[in-house]
Structures are given as structure tokens and as C-alpha cells.
Amino acid sequence: MATEVKLPRLGQGMESGTIVRWLKSEGEAVQKGEPLYELDTDKVTQEVEAEANGVLLKIAVPEGEVEVGRTIAFIGKEGETVAAQAPAAPAPKQEKAVEAAPERAAAPEPEPEPQTTNGRIKASPLARRLARERGIDLAAVRGTGPEGRIVAEDVERSEVTGGPAPAAAPQVRSAEVSSTPLSSVRKTIARRLTQAWTVPAFMLTVSADMSRANELIARRRELEPDVRVTVTDLLTKVCAQALMRHPDMNVQFTEDALLSFPNANVGIAVAAPQGLVVPVVHGAEQLTLAQIAQARGDVVGRARDGKLRSEDVEGGTFTISNLGMFEVDQFVAVLNPPQASILAVGATRDQVVPVDGELLVLPLMTMTLTCDHRAVDGATGAGFLKTVKSFLEDPGLAL
């Protein structure tokens, strides 16, 4: 009996994934634990391992988006035959969708989500045509018609408000404009950052004298040239320590409760080829600078290679976005929901600063902290930022 390979749920909230490519072809032998195919979810692209030994008998879904739980391939004995068609989505799901209908009618109106039934989006034929012509993904359009049906107006509105923007305005037909379908990562970035934009946020800016921090980094590199410690690593450590001193900062706002986290899981914004991803260094408060550098090198490297695992990007409680290497003086970062704060870090520059009546030239680094004001008060954010500044200016204080 052949083993069905089903699309796994790789994280909470994962409903579907996009099969990028198969790493084995039909008829090829497969060992349990061997990478079988590449899967693009809304968080990461990763290789998924085979869960059985045998021969890859059939690939039911060569590529494209598939809902979780669907059979995408069969592994079995050489020569074994399998049903020509992969079984469709499991039947109970359909029943559930049917049952859900009256319930939805009776329930108080929920925030309309893209209406799908077993992955089928409810949209009028006209809406479908407009979306097709303008390259709009209906999955990202909110339906306002009866029972949440997407009607033409919704498609037009989504285009105006730049929901998932079409690659080109339809009227302007220019030879240079190219249209690229949105990747899962790009859709997720758009959705989450749009969500972030609805959060009431405040920003605090401070500059830190980086003289001692730079000395510390230089000394570490001297001692352990193999582990290349960076400013970001030091910031990760310093922020983790500061979060421990200011537990009111290590929180998340939910509709019902404020969540406080015991560990400082620090996310680092990385410009990966497929788009922005934020791998997380978990429990950074317990790691040494060298350990952080290693963990950071590991996840960032995998982010750049598109090989992140779900757990690499989950559970962050704070994010650092460092654009100093791009010579940016200072900037304001958009929150990374559901996290309550993010630190935007600029380049370190020599500046003339009056100190005790004297003019000194100091390497200053400007940082801007963005906070979710629903979860964090201004003074809390300011206190945290002051601690970060003092730790950077005198790293010994972080001990």
C-alpha cells in the first residue's frame, strides 16, 4: 500500500502552501528524511523531508498552491500502482462548509475575510474577469456582496487602495511595465504591514555614543576571528538584556489580554532575495555575544538562501531593523505584528558633541523605537530606550 504524501501544516494558521518544485522525480528512490520538495508558505520557503522509504510513485501536484492535508504525492514499492487522481480535499471539510453557512448567517457579522469554501473564492463572474485582466489576486480582496461575495466594485476598490497592487495600472500600457504574480512572502508582507498600519504607534529617537561598543566588538573579533561579531549582534544582546530589565516592553497586545513573555526572542529584519523576512534569535538574553553571532549567522544565512524553517521565524517578541550598512542616518520602522515594538537602527557617524564644555568628536548611532501604544506607554518605551542607550555606551552595565 503506497503512502500518501500530504501537505503538512508547518505552523499555526497555515492553511495552504505553494509547492515550488520537487527535488525527486517520479520513479526515483526516496529515503525517509531526504528532502522531497520545496514548499513556499506565507512565512518561509523550505525543503520538506520524505516521511517514508520507497519509490516516489506519483507526484499528484507538480507545483502551485495546495491546501493543508491534500495528498500531493505517493511513495510506495517499485511497480506499485496508485489511483490516477489524487483524492480531492477530504470530504468532511465540505460538510463542514455546508454546515457553517446557516451559522454564519445567524452569527454577528464578523470582519469579512476573503470568502472561501474549500479554497473556492466567492466572486461574481465580472469580478473574476476584472481581477484576471488587472492581475489582482482575489484571495486578497474583501467581498462586500451577499454572503461576502466579491463583486466588481470590491476589485476596483482594492485596486485603488492598493491592496495587492496590480503590477501596472490598466490604463497605462507601457512596454517597460512587467507584471509579476505575488509570491506568498510578498503577500504576507503586504498583509501584515497593512495590519501594522492600523495600530496606534509612537516613535522615540535617541543617539548613543558607540565608542565603547565598537571597542568591545573589535576586541571580540580579535579574540575570536572565526566568529564575526557585528553591531547587530551586540544590539541583539543589549536589547535582550534591556527587555529583561523592562518586562513591560516584552509584551503583545491582543483583544482580550496583554501577553508578557519570559524570554527575549529578538527578530532581525533581513532583506532576503524573496523579500523581507525576520528570523528570530530565541532566548537571546541567555546567549553570549558569540552564541548570538553564531545563531544570527545561521538564521540570516538560511533566510538569504530561502531555507528558513517555520520555527526560525516564529515566536519573536521584539525586532531589530538595522539599515546602518546602507548609510541610512535614521529611520522609522513599521511594527512587526503582533510584536509591540521594533528598533530602527541607523549608521554610526562621527559627530561633534559638546561634552562638559568641550567639543568632542564621538561616533553616534541614532535609533528610533516604534511602539504599539495599545500595549506600551510612552514612559515605558522611553525607559527601555534609555537602558539600551546606556548599555551601548557602557556595555558592562548589561551584565
Partner 1 sequence: MPELSYREAVRDALATAMRQDDGVFILGEDIAEMGGSMGVTSGMLEEFGSERVRNTPISEMALAGAAIGAAMQGMRPVAEIMYEDFMTLAAEQVVNQAAKLRYMSGGQLTVPVVFRTQGGAGWSPGAQHAQQLEAWFVHIPGLKVVFASTPEDVRGLLWSSIYDDNPVVFFEHRTLYGIKGEVPEKIEPIPIGKARVHREGEDVTVIATGRLVHESLKAAEEAEKQGVSVEVVDPRTLQPLDEETLVASVKKTNRAVVAHEAVTRMGFGAEVASVIQYQAFDWLDAPIERVGAKFAPLPFAPVMEQFIVPHSDDVLAAIMRTVGRNGD
**What CA–CA distance (Å, rounded) separates 222 from 237?**
19
- 127 counts as binding partner 1 under rule CB under 8 A: yes
Grid coordinates of 220: 571580540
Among 83, 100, 101, 126, indicate the residue that binds partner 1 (CB under 8 A).
Answer: 126
Pairwise CA distance, residues 162 & 124, whole Å = 21
* Owner of C-alpha cell 481581477: 131
Tell me, yes or no, if 373 is annotated catalytic. yes
Interface with partner 1 includes 124 (CB under 8 A)?
Answer: yes
Pairing state of beta strands 258-260 and 266-268?
unpaired
Q: Are 315 and 281 in contact (CB under 8 A)?
A: no
Quote the cell numbers at residue 356: 562638559
Check residue 152 for interaction with partner 1 (CB under 8 A).
yes
Residue 393, C-beta contacts closer than 8 angstroms, at least 6 positions apart: 208, 209, 210, 211, 212, 213
Beta bridge partner(s), residue 271? 276
Strand order in the sheet with 64-67: 45-49, 35-40, 16-22, 64-67
Contact between 135 and partner 1 by CB under 8 A: the answer reads no
356 binds partner 1 (CB under 8 A): no
Nearer to partner 1, 151 or 333 (CB): 151
* Interaction between residue 109 and partner 1 (CB under 8 A): yes
State in angstroms the smallest separation of the CB of 160 from partner 1.
17
| DSSP secondary structure letter of residue 219 | H
Q: Which stretch binds partner 1 (CB under 8 A): 150-158, 345-353, 366-374, 387-395?
A: 150-158
The residue within the footprint of partner 1, chosen from 64, 79, 102, 146 (CB under 8 A), is: 146
Residue 108: Cβ-neighbour burial (10 angstroms; 0-12, 13-18, 19+): exposed
Select from 85, 87, 50 the least CA-distant residue to 67.
87
Q: Confirm or reject binding of residue 128 to partner 1 (CB under 8 A).
A: yes
Least separation in angstroms between CB 152 and partner 1: 5
- Kindly state whether residue 125 participates in binding partner 1, applying the rule CB under 8 A: yes
Other beta carbons within 10 angstroms of residue 17's beta carbon come to: 27
- Binding segment (CB under 8 A) for partner 1, from list 15-23, 142-150, 160-168, 202-210: 142-150
Q: How far is the CB of 114 from partner 1 (least distance, A)?
A: 15
Catalytic residue among 373, 374, 382, 383, which? 373
138 part of the interface to partner 1, by CB under 8 A: no
Closest CA to 170 of 123, 130, 124: 130
Q: Which three cell numbers stand for residue 221?
A: 573579533
Contact range with partner 1 by CB under 8 A, out of 138-146, 159-167, 238-246, 256-264: 138-146
Name the minimum Å distance from CB 172 to partner 1: 23
- Binding partner 1 (rule: CB under 8 A), the pick from 26, 34, 147, 311 is 147
Question: With CB under 8 A, what is the number of residues at the site for partner 1?
Answer: 16
Which DSSP helix (H) or strand (E) runs through 379? helix 378-393
Q: Does 167 bind partner 1 (CB under 8 A)?
A: no
Give the list of residues 6+ apart from residue 7 with CB closer than 8 angstroms, or none: 16, 17, 19, 39, 66, 67, 68, 69, 70, 72
Q: Applying CB under 8 A, does 111 fall inside the site for partner 1?
A: no
Residue 103 CB, nearest approach to partner 1 (Å): 15
Q: Tell me the closest approach of the beta carbon of residue 101 to partner 1, in angstroms.
A: 12
Contacts (CB under 8 A) with partner 1, residues 214-233: none
Kindly state the smallest distance separating residue 170's Cβ from partner 1, in Å: 16
Indicate whether 151 belongs to the interface with partner 1 (CB under 8 A).
Answer: yes
Residue 249, C-alpha cell as written in the block:
516592553
Binding of partner 1 by 117 (CB under 8 A): no
Question: Which of 77, 96, 129, 219 is the binder for partner 1 (CB under 8 A)?
Answer: 129
Residue 119, Cβ neighbours under 10 Å: how many? 14
Q: Binding residues for partner 1, per CB under 8 A?
A: 105, 109, 124-129, 144-148, 151-153
Catalytic residues: 373
